[in-house]
Amino acid sequence: MDPQTVFVSYVFCLLAALSGVAIYYEFRRKRFEPTPSEDHIFRCGKCGFVYTDDPDVDRSRCPHCGILNEMIRF
């Protein structure tokens, strides 16, 4: 084997190992992250309190002052 083939195969093996480690850690990170919530976000127009409620609710009462509020759209 000539030196160029040895060098190319060495670099290829190193890159393959680094890619494998990166993929492994990405799958591992996703498995332990909290799942995003489906709840809607509300902000009270009177007291400014920000809170969440169930995804099937379009209007919700503020837990602090009791005013009905519309959900925030991003």
First and final CA of the chain: distance in angstroms? 61
DSSP E strand stretches across the chain: 40-43, 50-53, 59-61, 68-70
pLDDT at residue 58, rounded to an integer: 86
Give the pair of three-digit tokens for residue 55: 């995804």
pLDDT at residue 43, rounded to an integer: 92
Asked if 49 and 65 sit in the same domain, the reply is yes
Nearest to 66 by CA among 55, 57, 49: 49
Asked if 28 and 2 sit in the same domain, the reply is yes
pLDDT at residue 7, rounded to an integer: 95
| Domains contained in the chain, number | 2
Asked if 65 and 46 sit in the same domain, the reply is yes
Give this prediction's pTM. 0.53
- pLDDT tens, the chain, 74 aa long: 789 999 999 999 999 999 999 999 998 888 777 777 788 999 998 999 999 998 888 899 999 998 999 888 87
Domain limits for position 6: 1-33
